[in-house]
Every structure is written in C-alpha cells, then in structure tokens.
Amino acid sequence: MSDPSALESSPIQREKTATSYTYDRLPGWRRYRALHPFRGMYHDVRRRLPYYWSDITDAWTYRTIASTIRMYFVNILPAIAYTLDMYRRTGEFFGINEALFSSALAAMVFSILGAQPLTIVGITGLISLFNYTIYDTIVIYEPAIYANFMCWTAIWAAIFHWIVAVCNFCDYMRYVTDFSSESFGAYVGIIYCIKGVEELVNEFTEHGLAAGYLSCLIAVLYFLTIYGLEWLGSSTICRPWFRGLLADYAYVIGTIFWVGFAHFPGNLKATGISFVPISKAFYPTQPRGWLIHFWELEVKWVFAALPFGFLVMLLFYYDHNVSSLTAQARQFPLKKPAGFHWDFFLLGCTTFIAGITGIPMPNGLVPQAPVHTDSLTIYETDLHIIHTTSSEDASIRQPTIKATAVVEQRISHFLMGLAIIGTMTRPLLIVLHTMPAAVFAGVFFIVGWGSIESNGILKKMIFLLKENRFVQRDEPLLRVKRGKIVLYILCEVVPVAACVAISQTIAAIGFPILIIAMIPFRVWIIPRWFSQSELDILDDLTANNSAVLKSLGGPPKFPGEKEENYGVVRRYSEERSGHVRQRTGSITR
C-alpha cells in the first residue's frame, strides 16, 4: 500500500486508485465478478484506509457533539421501542439488555473498523418483525429451541453475508433506484406507524383504560412536539443558530419533557402507565449465559434455519446497503470514499456474534442513516431573491439551504457507542426505566410519518391531486402524461401493499424477496412501459454519489439505455429551494 499522505496530496493518483475497481471493460471470464474473490473488499480498504487518521483529527468541532447527542436519541429510542415489541412477542427472550448490547456492538465495530463510519448500524423494526415471526413459527413445533434456532439462522446469515461480500455482489446495489427505495421507505414508515398503534393497544390490554388513554395522549402530543420543533427549526424565525439548536435537539427536548410529564405527581403518576422493563445490568434477560449453546440443536433444525438465514441476508443486503447509500447520497458534499463490500463483510461478523450471544442482529438503520450525515453537515441558509418583473421592492425573498461541508469522521459514531455502553450500566438502566412506553409509540409515529411524508410516492400523489393551474409551469412532472404517473405509482404501491398485508401474517419474513424483486423488475420490465425521458423524471438513482459508485464498480448500465439523465426532479427542487434538511424518518429527498 502506498503512503497515505502521498495519496492525499496527489489527487490524480487517488483518482486512479479509486476508479480502478470496475468490471466494465474487462474481457472474457474476468467480466464475472464472482471470479474475483475479495477484490471489492481489497479495493474498499485500500481506498478508505488513507483517510483513517483524518477520520479522527477532523472530529474536533461542535458538530461532532451535536451529532453524538442527536444520534444517541435517534438510534436508541426506536431500538428500545422495537425491543418492547420483541420482548412481548418472543416469550421475553429479547430484552433491553440484549438490545443495548447489540446496538453497542454494532456502534463499536462500525465506528472503529467500518469503511463507512457515517452509516449508523443498530436494531430495526424489520429485524424485530423477523424475530417474532420466527418465534411464531417455532412455537408451533418446539418452543424450547427458539434460542438455538435463532442462533443458527444468524450463523447461516453470516455465511451468506461473507459469500456476498467476497464475491463482490454488493455491486448490484448500484441498480437500486428510487423506484424500489421509495417503496421500501413507505413500507418501513407504515410498519412503524402500525407498531406505534400496537404499542398503545398493549397499554390498554395490560394496564387498563386510563393508562391506555393517557398513553395515546402522550404519544400524540410527543409527535406534535417533535414535529413542531423540527418545523420551527426549518422555518425562518429567529437567528440561524437558534434554528440549528431546535433542529439538533428536538428529540432531546421532546423526550425529556414528555418523560417528565408522565411522572408528574398526582393523577398522571397515579394512572400507572407502563415503563421500559429492565433487568439486571449486563446479564441476559432470560436466566442463561451470553453464549448460546448452538451445538445442542438437532441437525434437522440446523438445516431448517438455512432458508431463514438466507432471508435475513436478503433483508440486510437491501436494508443495510440502502442505508449506506442514503447516508452518502449526492446531496451531501462528501469527500471521502465509500466501501460497501468491506462493510457487508463486517455486517456478517456482527450477525455471527449476535447469533451466538443471542442478541438481535443489528444492521443499517434505513430511516435514521441519513440523519447522521445531516447532523454532521454544515448548512448555510442563503437568501434567494427571485426578481419579478414588477418593481424592485416586490422581488420575492426565499431561504435556500446550502450544505457547505460535512464533518466526515468516525468519532461521533464511536462516542454514541460509548454512550450506549454507559446506558447498559445499572444507574442509566434506571433512567431508562423512567421512560413510558407511550413515548416510544410517539417515536414510532414521528419516524414512521417522516418516512411517509417525505416519500416520493406521496409527492407524486399530491402532484396528481393538485389543481393543475397552480402547478409551476417548469415542474418536470408536467412533461409526463398523467396516466403514466398513475401507472408508475401503482407499480410502487402494489408491492408496498403486498408487504404490509403479509407483515400481519406468518409469511411476514418473505417481504425482503418482494422488495429485492423490485430491482430486476425496474431494470427489465419498467423500461418497456416507460420511455427513458419519463424515467429520467419519475425515477432517480439512489446510488447517485460518484464517491459511492466507485465502490460499486462504476455507474450502472441499464439495458437498452441510450442516454440517461436521472435526477431531473431532484435538480429542479434543489434549484428552487436548495437542500432540504433531513428530518428523522425521511429516506428519500
């Protein structure tokens, strides 16, 4: 490996190294990426390692602190929320200690060893759905083997992860477009909202009417508080620094207030709503050791776990890599390169560790991932004056937000991990115990709604609903026939509806197949129904950052495509109002 400082000082040489990972012009057998084992991982490390020292030295700014605090809340709140759900639905196998252990493990591994330290890894709603669906399946046969079965599922999943990483299959992520990631975002958002409702329903069944209604009230008001604070943070009131504070600490302010509210002496305290259940610090929730005795499982069950392991890998393949893609999307002015193969290999390792210790398997957090990059981005609110043809005074003044730089480093991720380890100790577990479950229902709603509100599907629907004469004439969607937009929305909505429908059944674990199937559908079927100029407007590459595409073997080649010009709508929107600040839960622009 060449000297990092030399690399950094010579942009030409760096450019050469970075672009050297591609299969596009290779002849014969060399075109098959599976026949180049470890090539992607090698290039990922080689590309990223020279920046390692700067990942530490670049961190000495205020943004790192703000980011650490914001991400701690945005990571840990939904994680605990899902754990409440998992705890009840897996026979109390996965508890708070497991969740914290898993989050801490992921944060440590990916902040120290990851090639993409911006991608926050932790517990998602989908793995929770996976875990309890497997539980529902297993209890039909043999409840006692759940721990061992989950362990083997994870071991198989880890093996598939390593195969994918070694064979460079992450390259196919470059074909992911907003077509599938919008659907995925909508699906995740809807699942979050459903989980929020389930959390509240549980309050009614377990603690009675008063506790149930109070929980509903707290959830709704928590939602409104965070929504209002984030809205104020993106308005033009007061000074920019004050708005920045509101945007950075909306979760902190909202959570502290509503947790305190639930403890008000008198009626509120007397209502007896439920709080986060905790157990002895650093011990598993169940009376067991941290090592799962996986060698005690019958062989037939070991192999029965194989397809489940494959499904987990499919889920993580999409979920983790899309979260890396969105955390490194084009709207962030990133300078440091990506490394998908290496990170997916690491994810295999954490999946393996999670398996043999009996903790939930962590992976990239889809709605939260871009929030980390956003919290590290230095924004400037500029004045955008639109001159009108009437008098000079009547020109229209609008704020445009510009992302000037991103504090790319791994310290905020690392510190967040330390904070989670701290949370595992008894004193902070007791603090966790003060938090009412209702607040987590509110978290579900705010994150879920964020993912729906900012979704491209909803935006296209609103465009269709809007009275035509009030649409700006330069709106790109006007250049596509309305029928085509309807068809495109249908192609996105049907898989979402299918996923949501099966998520209420034991077939829930099949949803990754549906989502992944949208990628080849987009590549081979969609171009037959839509012209390229229509797709330029309706769709956009999710992997649109050139630094990202370098790790994925260069830009994608869609079949039969002459000249692609994706991102028309994105550029149009950026031109008019600049960069839109990331709200928690929004996966796409």
Rg, the chain, Cα only: 24
The residue whose two tokens read 């991982």 is 41
Q: If we measure between CA atoms, which residue out of 221, 208, 201 comes closest to residue 262?
A: 221
Closest distance of CB 246 from a copy of itself, Å: 13
Backbone angles phi, psi at 440, to 5 degrees: -70, -30
For a copy of itself, the binding residues in 268-287 under the rule CB under 8 A are 270-271
Report if residue 528 touches a copy of itself, rule: CB under 8 A: no
Report if residue 212 touches a copy of itself, rule: CB under 8 A: yes
- 278/292 Cα distance (integer angstroms): 21
Query: For a copy of itself, which is the closer residue by CB, 164 or 214?
Result: 214
Site string for a copy of itself, 91-130 (x = CB under 8 A): ----------------------------------------
**DSSP code per residue over 122-149:** E--HHHHHHHHHHHHHHHHH-GGGHHHH
Helices (H), ranges, 472-545: 482-503, 511-520, 526-529, 532-538
Backbone angles phi, psi at 387, to 5 degrees: -80, 135
Query: For a copy of itself, which is the closer residue by CB, 212 or 254?
Result: 212
Closest distance of CB 462 from a copy of itself, Å: 7
Query: For a copy of itself, which is the closer residue by CB, 107 or 229?
Result: 229
Site string for a copy of itself, 334-373 (x = CB under 8 A): ----------------------------------------
Structure token pair of residue 133: 């669906």
Q: If we measure between CA atoms, which residue out of 316, 326, 230, 321 comes closest to residue 588?
A: 326
Site string for a copy of itself, 225-244 (x = CB under 8 A): -----------xxxxx----
Closest distance of CB 334 from a copy of itself, Å: 28
- 370/378 Cα distance (integer angstroms): 14
Query: For a copy of itself, which is the closer residue by CB, 56 or 471?
Result: 471
Q: Which range of residues in 112-120, 368-376, 393-401, 501-509 is near a copy of itself by CB under 8 A? A: 393-401
Number of residues that bind a copy of itself (CB under 8 A): 45
Q: Give the one residue of 12, 24, 300, 391 binding a copy of itself; rule: CB under 8 A.
A: 391
CB–CB of 161/311 below 8 Å? no
Structure token pair of residue 69: 């605090």
Report if residue 265 touches a copy of itself, rule: CB under 8 A: no
Residue 403 β-bridge partners: 379
For a copy of itself, the binding residues in 399-418 under the rule CB under 8 A are 399
Query: For a copy of itself, which is the closer residue by CB, 220 or 477?
Result: 220
Query: For a copy of itself, which is the closer residue by CB, 390 or 504?
Result: 390
Angle at the Cα of 203 (from 197 to 209), degrees rounded to 5?
Answer: 110
For a copy of itself, the binding residues in 454-493 under the rule CB under 8 A are 462, 465-467, 469-474
Report the phi/psi class of residue 129: left, alpha or beta, with left for phi > 0 and alpha for psi in -120 to 50: alpha
375 CB-side CA count, 13 A: 35
Closest distance of CB 210 from a copy of itself, Å: 4
Report if residue 204 touches a copy of itself, rule: CB under 8 A: yes
- 553/34 Cα distance (integer angstroms): 13
Indicate the pairing of strand 121-122 with strand 396-406.
unpaired
Give SS3 for 114. Answer: coil
- 197/463 Cα distance (integer angstroms): 29
Query: For a copy of itself, which is the closer residue by CB, 236 or 425?
Result: 236
Query: For a copy of itself, which is the closer residue by CB, 300 or 397?
Result: 397
Report if residue 247 touches a copy of itself, rule: CB under 8 A: no
Q: Which range of residues in 112-120, 216-224, 351-359, 551-559 is near a copy of itself by CB under 8 A? A: 216-224
Q: Which range of residues in 77-85, 203-211, 497-505, 530-538 is near a copy of itself by CB under 8 A? A: 203-211
CB–CB of 395/388 below 8 Å? yes
- 310/318 Cα distance (integer angstroms): 13
Closest distance of CB 527 from a copy of itself, Å: 28
Q: Give the one residue of 287, 396, 504, 560 binding a copy of itself; rule: CB under 8 A.
A: 396
Contact set with a copy of itself (CB under 8 A): 204, 208-210, 212-214, 216-217, 220-221, 236-240, 267, 270-271, 381, 383, 386-399, 462, 465-467, 469-474
